[in-house]
């Protein structure tokens, strides 16, 4: 494909996925799980995200191809692990796409949330098919608008009379299991740096650009989440935050900030996340189709636009159906489990890059953290995720004989 994206474009795509709808919905269930230990959960999620980003950056520089961890797992661990990572990503992030679309529908027109969600998927798919450069330009605008409004809400909240610093330590703290569950729910919100790696064939000077873009996007996202979390707890307290259906809107209302601005921004953020997520899923679908793990027809790249049109349309069609029928909460939990499995494979792949013990500490921490947090998620999410992994393994067994690239590294 054509290498047209620079550092700013790659950062914008990553940030549009991380500082998207998750920041508007993830803090409430995380507070319900962790109580006053919410920030411990955020800290664990941040450590795991850093480990994942460090491994992904090294691997992206070594293998600047579409597909992200699907490619890394295939090259470093063997074809089965690459397939399992790609399968987890495509299925899990398709669920994330549906969650983002449902967020648009819930905020824009609650009575017709599913219909609006399906329409949003169709619109974003059409934009992505038109070319990745247009998608990157839209991502820049989305990131600028969302960051500006979030900063304004944070400033208005912490400087208002509704903010009370004592609330940051108020309430009962959950045990280790609750903290890990909160980490998993918050991880869903800012795991979007993988979108950068999946665009490996469309970034200029990928060996230099991809690692820089991943760390810049992650640093900005972590800072934003920390500030938003402090503002929400200071204004609402962890108990009210846990019970809130729209935490940022409630904080804005309490601090005198225009609630309509938050509602509109939530829709824009969800749209931006949906755009970046669909880009990532379609590129992983392309890579798996090239190797025969998905129908090879999906590997076609449009001659003029240089984008995987068939993969884009296929992913868009699946997500449209899911968005029209799925439940938002279930989609978030299931997506978190699948994506944590994906990053577990990324960390295991990064482990093989260097035999020095010091170089293996970060991927080891990332691998252990991903598995621990994934297994701490709600039982329904874990059960559904395990079923999906089993189905993925069975699909690998069926397609292996027809995949000539399936040779151990």
Is it the case that residue 97 has pLDDT exceeding 70? yes
Give the model confidence (pLDDT) of 103-151 as tens digits. Answer: 888 778 888 989 999 999 999 999 888 875 666 788 788 889 999 999 9
Query: What percent of the chain lies above the pLDDT cut of 90?
Result: 49
Crossing angle of helices 176-189 and 357-376, in 10° steps, is 100
3-state SS, one letter per residue, for 277-321:
HHHHHHHHHHHHHHCCCCCHHHHCCCCCCCCCHHHHHHHHHHHHH
pLDDT value of position 137: 80
Structure tokens at 191: 């795991």
pLDDT value of position 408: 41
Give the model confidence (pLDDT) of 345-385 as tens digits. Answer: 999 999 999 999 889 999 999 999 999 999 999 899 999 99
Give the model confidence (pLDDT) of 238-266 as tens digits. Answer: 999 999 878 998 999 999 999 999 989 98
Distance (Å, rounded) from C-alpha 132 to C-alpha 67?
Answer: 15
pLDDT value of position 407: 43
If you average pLDDT over every residue of the chain, what do you get?
Answer: 88
Residue 403 binned pLDDT confidence (cut-offs 50, 70, 90): low
Distance (Å, rounded) from C-alpha 88 to C-alpha 13?
Answer: 21
Structure tokens at 11: 């950062």
pLDDT value of position 172: 79
Q: Counting beta carbons within 10 angstroms of the beta carbon of residue 389, is it exposed (0 to 12), middle (13 to 18) or buried (19 or more)?
A: middle
Is pTM beyond 0.85 here?
no
Q: Distance of CA 157 to CAs 160, 163, 259, Å?
A: 5, 6, 12
- The sign of the dihedral angle between the CA atoms of 343, 348, 353, 356 is positive
Distance (Å, rounded) from C-alpha 290 to C-alpha 352?
Answer: 24
Confirm if 34 and 172 have CB atoms less than 8 A apart. no
Structure tokens at 367: 């691998």
Quick one: CA torsion of 94, 100, 103, 109, rounded to 10 degrees?
-80
| φ, ψ at 406 (rounded to 5°) | -75, 80
């Amino acid at each position: 494909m054509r290498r047209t994206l620079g550092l700013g474009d790659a950062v914008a795509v990553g940030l549009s996925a991380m500082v998207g709808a998750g920041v508007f919905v993830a803090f409430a269930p995380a507070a319900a799980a962790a109580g006053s230990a919410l920030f411990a959960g955020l800290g664990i999620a941040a450590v795991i995200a850093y480990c994942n980003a460090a491994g992904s950056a090294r691997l992206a520089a070594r293998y600047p191809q579409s597909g992200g961890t699907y490619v890394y797992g295939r090259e470093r661990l063997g074809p089965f692990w690459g397939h399992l990572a790609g399968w987890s990503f495509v299925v899990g992030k398709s669920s994330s796409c549906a969650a983002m679309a449902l967020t648009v529908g819930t905020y824009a027109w609650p009575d017709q949330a599913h219909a609006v969600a399906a329409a949003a998927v169709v619109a974003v798919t059409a934009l992505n098919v038109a070319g990745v450069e247009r998608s990157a330009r839209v991502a820049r605008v989305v990131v600028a608008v969302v960051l500006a409004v979030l900063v304004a809400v944070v400033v208005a909240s912490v400087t208002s009379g509704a903010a009370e610093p004592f609330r940051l330590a108020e309430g009962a703290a959950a045990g280790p299991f609750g903290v890990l569950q909160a980490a998993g729910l918050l991880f869903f919100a800012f795991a979007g740096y993988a979108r950068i790696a999946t665009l490996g064939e469309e970034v200029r000077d990928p060996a230099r650009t991809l690692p820089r873009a991943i760390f810049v996007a992650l640093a900005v996202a972590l800072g934003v989440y920390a500030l938003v979390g402090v503002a929400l707890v200071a204004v609402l307290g962890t108990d009210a935050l846990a019970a809130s259906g729209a935490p940022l809107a409630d904080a804005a209302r309490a601090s005198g900030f225009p609630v309509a601005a938050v509602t509109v921004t939530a829709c824009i953020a969800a749209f931006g996340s949906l755009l970046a997520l669909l880009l990532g899923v379609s590129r992983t679908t392309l890579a798996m189709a090239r190797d025969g793990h998905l129908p090879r027809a999906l590997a076609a790249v449009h001659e003029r636009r240089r984008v995987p049109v068939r993969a884009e349309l296929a992913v868009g069609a699946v997500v449209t159906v899911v968005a029209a029928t799925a439940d938002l909460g279930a989609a978030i939990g299931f997506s978190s489990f699948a994506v944590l499995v994906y990053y577990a494979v990324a960390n295991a792949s990064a482990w093989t890059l260097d035999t020095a013990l010091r170089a293996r500490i970060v991927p080891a921490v990332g691998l252990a953290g991903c598995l621990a947090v994934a297994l701490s998620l709600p039982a329904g999410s874990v059960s559904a995720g395990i079923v999906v992994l089993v189905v993925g393994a069975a699909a690998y067994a069926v397609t292996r004989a027809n995949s000539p690239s399936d040779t151990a590294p």
